[in-house]
Amino acid sequence: MNKPEILQLGAYSERDEALLNEHFVMHRFFEVDDKEAFLKQHAANIKAIGTRGDLRVEGELIDALPALEMIAVYGVGYDGVDMDRVIARDLRMSNTPDVLTGDVADYAVAMMLAQSRAIVGASDWVRSGNWGNTGGYGLTSRVHGKRVGVLGLGRIGFEIAKRLAAFDMEINYSSRSAKPEAADWNFIADPVALAEASDFLFVALAANAETRHIVSKEVIEAMGSTGMIINISRAANIDEEALLDALESGALGSAALDVFEGEPVINERFFALDNVLLQPHQGSGTVETREAMGDLVRNNLLAHFEGRDLLTPVN
Ligand code: NAP
């Protein structure tokens, strides 16, 4: 059998690319200058798209690929994919859930601790010689025993809450309905009420039309001048302009963010703020998880072309 041809929309690791090349003809579309000419020549043979959670798969591109059967997303979030076109074309689609859940939850907790206890600023303080020259760093803010709100008790939200329960924190959460597996925690459906009940608000929602800007100006201001918002989900879940306004005015105490509008080129207003921890969208960025994600992308594509069920289907 000829190797199936895949349109690759972004780089994967060297390891993953070597393994994919064993089974497929990978067209590195992101390196092609004249995309129109490329599609004219190859579109009829392209059977699948290999993409990443941080990239867009426009309806226009899907329409330009008449033989397309499948889209494999490296990442759990597939908000970048035009799902209307996926459904209209009856395409198969996979993502990489579960294997990254623990790492993203670890990272969210680490971001809260780092920002509350000023780990980054205090490290800079030591390196710059300030400790020896001028003395200690100053006091920071306690974490354990405080109140947590988890907005979106999905796979990652649940693991964040589990970890924070071990810090003797009060756990409040919001989901579309109360969850039997969260009987020890408080269900608060309304995001503003959840924010009012929380010192730390973790945003762990899927990004879609209904969750867009669910963390509104009202939710942000309900956290108050000592509250912290931690976002490891998608930027679209927060009204970023309102967040910046509140961080600048002090209406919100602080934030710790792994995701941004327009990333990796982010709003420069963030750079002037010392009450926000900025991370380059690397919640799942461990060697172990990234290998597991790469394996899932490859094994879902193999399953499709061997006529088997997908391992982790989206639809
Ligand atoms: P998940 O298990 O699907 O959980 C998604 C959560 O979003 C659930 O709590 C779900 O509510 C909620 N939700 C979905 N649609 C909703 C709607 N219309 N209204 C209200 N709530 C809605 O996803 P996950 O694997 O935990 O991933 C969570 C987020 O993390 C995603 O945005 C993903 O893209 C992001 N992520 C980021 C990184 C990173 O590197 N920073 C890595 C992986 C994932 P229910 O509980 O009611 O179902």
Asked if residue 10 and residue 123 are part of one domain, the reply reads no
Asked if residue 84 and residue 105 are part of one domain, the reply reads no
Q: How far is CA 214 from CA 98, 153, 239, in A?
A: 24, 15, 8
* pLDDT given for residue 315 in this prediction: 79
* SS3 of residue 26 by DSSP: strand
d(CA 165, CA 244) in angstroms, rounded, equals 30
* pLDDT given for residue 302 in this prediction: 98
Number of domains in the chain: 2
**Burial of 84 (C-beta count, 10 Å sphere; 0-12/13-18/19+):** exposed
pLDDT (tens digit per residue) in 274-310: 999 999 999 999 999 999 999 999 999 999 999 999 9
* Ligand 1 atom with the shortest distance to the CA of 104: 42
Residue 310 falls inside a structural domain: no
Q: What is the mean pLDDT of residues 108-129?
A: 98
Q: Is 304 a catalytic residue?
A: no
Question: How many A from CA of 27 to the centre of ligand 1?
Answer: 31
Asked if residue 120 and residue 61 are part of one domain, the reply reads no
Asked if residue 9 and residue 131 are part of one domain, the reply reads no
* pLDDT given for residue 135 in this prediction: 97
Q: What is the CATH number of the domain that holds 138?
A: 3.40.50.720
Asked if residue 203 and residue 152 are part of one domain, the reply reads yes
pLDDT (tens digit per residue) in 71-82: 999 999 999 999
Q: Is 263 a catalytic residue?
A: yes
Residue from 5, 69, 261, 263 carrying the catalytic annotation = 263
pLDDT (tens digit per residue) in 253-277: 999 999 999 999 999 999 999 999 9
pLDDT (tens digit per residue) in 122-151: 999 999 999 999 999 999 999 999 999 999
Asked if residue 76 and residue 202 are part of one domain, the reply reads no
- Cβ burial 28-40 (10 Å sphere, 16+ → b, else e): ebeeeeeeeeebe
Residue 283 falls inside a structural domain: no
* pLDDT given for residue 52 in this prediction: 97
Which pTM does this prediction carry? 0.96
Asked if residue 117 and residue 235 are part of one domain, the reply reads yes
Longest dimension (CA), the chain: 71
* pLDDT given for residue 223 in this prediction: 98
| Residue 88 lies in domain | 5-97+288-305
Residue 311 falls inside a structural domain: no
Q: What residue ranges line ligand 1, CB within 6 angstroms?
A: 76-77, 97, 100-101, 104, 152-157, 175-176, 204-208, 210-211, 232-234, 258-259, 281, 283-284
- Contacts of 133-140 with C-beta under 8 Å, sequence gap 24+, read 140/116
* SS3 of residue 185 by DSSP: coil
Q: Is 281 a catalytic residue?
A: yes
Cβ atoms of 4 and 305 within 8 Å: the answer is yes
* pLDDT given for residue 142 in this prediction: 98
